[in-house]
Amino acid sequence: MELALNQPAPLWKRLSWFDWLFAVIIATGSLFALSRFGDFMDIYEKAILLAAIPAMALFGWFWKPFRVLFLVSAGVALFAISQYQGSLARMEEAFFLKYLISSQAAIMWMCALFGLATLSYWAGLLARSGFLLKTGSTLTWSAVAMGLIGLMVRWYESYLIGADIGHIPVSNLYEVFVLFCLITAMMYLYYEARYQTRQMGAFVLLVISAAVGFILWYSLDRGAQEIQPLVPALKSWWMKLHVPANFIGYGGFSIAAMLGTGYLLAQRGILASRLPKLEVIDDMMYKSIAIGFAFFTISTILGAMWAAEAWGGYWSWDPKETWALIVWLNYAAWLHIRLVKGLRGPMLAWWAVAGLFITTFAFIGVNMFLSGLHSYGTL
């Protein structure tokens, strides 16, 4: 009887009116998009859009803060889209577009906010200031919102250039680095709330700030913010599934590496009194790798299926594919050692840190130093 009383109520009984309102808004928006743009979609893209309705609703029910983040970002993005009035030239004429919520302006604000968040987290960690740590969290949430707005508006801008050019903004290094920042920050914010460990933001935001540095260099030096037509191989609905899943993997692995860095410092008595207990950091590191590995596995399978459609074979030992396999084997071994052998402690922390270098080479090093079927991603 006592066990029965302690059982949680079914999910549908635990939902608030705001949960249901969020689901209705998601469904209404998706169905409107289907009615408005369905003629430009194939059957697979329509299926993805319809499947996104329950997926987004469930995600919002599972992680409550996501509801507000999504609704605010979508609302501001829709306002930005209305300001264009069908002309890309309005980007330089309308005040809000020019300085705040065009795609490039919003992404630059995202970069600035992530930089300020990094400084706030470190200041809060070193000064033991709860206020500064909370400020870091607020700035990180704000940066994520601006990044989401930037990507959504960029998607619309690509169609203003031309219906044949329009595409989801996950097609080149500039766009996926923005996506990496957003996914990594959102994953961290979830763990931050779950474990009540704002102190670890000082470490995780370092890797996001490194990505921000790349975005700024890539924009200012290479003009990468300019929207370009897709190469033929990328004109596929597979991209909408493969790329986001891949970067959830990269985000999880990056968080684990920075948590591993914090673990190693605390284990040596550096900042130990300011950081969470080693057991807490270890558990966060494990769960980050587990989630990242699950999505990276899904991404690899989707990538093989996409390759079969685009190039006629599931696997060709292209450098990008080979390094993806190396990344997968690295984290498969890490999880095996932890789960089967029960190993904990500094060795796995060092391994997680080393894994970031392997992942980084697979992410960007291949594009810089090797060539192959994925050469459309070169610098």
DSSP type of residue 312: S
Torsion sign (Cα): 88, 176, 298, 316: positive
Please tell me the predicted confidence (pLDDT) of residue 379. Answer: 60
Closest CA to 144 of 169, 117, 167: 117
Closest CA to 167 of 107, 243, 222: 243
Are 348 and 285 contacting, i.e. CB atoms less than 8 angstroms apart?
Answer: yes
Please tell me the predicted confidence (pLDDT) of residue 1. Answer: 43
Residue spans per domain, the chain: 63-230, 245-379
Between the alpha carbon of residue 218 and those of residues 40, 224, 362, the distances in Å are: 31, 6, 18
Q: Give, for all 379 residues of the chain, the pLDDT tens digit.
A: 444 455 666 666 778 889 999 999 999 999 998 888 788 777 888 898 899 999 999 999 999 999 999 999 999 999 999 999 888 889 888 999 999 999 999 999 999 999 999 999 999 999 999 999 999 999 999 999 999 999 999 999 998 988 788 888 998 889 999 999 999 999 999 999 999 999 999 999 999 999 999 999 988 887 788 888 888 778 888 888 999 999 999 999 999 999 999 999 999 999 999 999 999 999 999 999 999 999 999 999 999 998 888 778 788 888 888 999 999 999 999 999 999 888 888 999 999 999 999 999 988 888 776 665 555 555 6
Between the alpha carbon of residue 129 and those of residues 9, 133, 134, 341, the distances in Å are: 38, 6, 9, 39
Closest CA to 349 of 276, 253, 270, 259: 259
The residue whose two tokens read 């400020």 is: 135
Closest CA to 246 of 306, 186, 180: 180
- Per-residue exposure over 176-215, b if at least 16 CB sit within 10 Å of its own CB, e if not: bbbbbbbbbbbbbbebbeeeebbbbbbbbbebbbebbebb
Please tell me the predicted confidence (pLDDT) of residue 2. Answer: 47
DSSP type of residue 171: S
Please tell me the predicted confidence (pLDDT) of residue 7. Answer: 62
Between the alpha carbon of residue 241 and those of residues 54, 149, 306, 340, the distances in Å are: 16, 20, 10, 31
Are 335 and 290 contacting, i.e. CB atoms less than 8 angstroms apart?
Answer: yes
Q: DSSP for 195-242?
A: HT-GGGHHHHHHHHHHHHHHHHHHHHHH-TTS--PPPGGG-STTHHHH
Backbone Cα Rg of the chain: 21
Which amino acid, residue 231?
V
Alpha-carbon distance of 232 to 236, in angstroms, equals 8
Terminal-residue alpha carbon distance, the chain: 64
pTM: 0.93
Two tokens at 148? 């989401």
Closest CA to 333 of 302, 299, 289, 291: 289
Two tokens at 258? 């920075």
Two tokens at 300? 């690899």
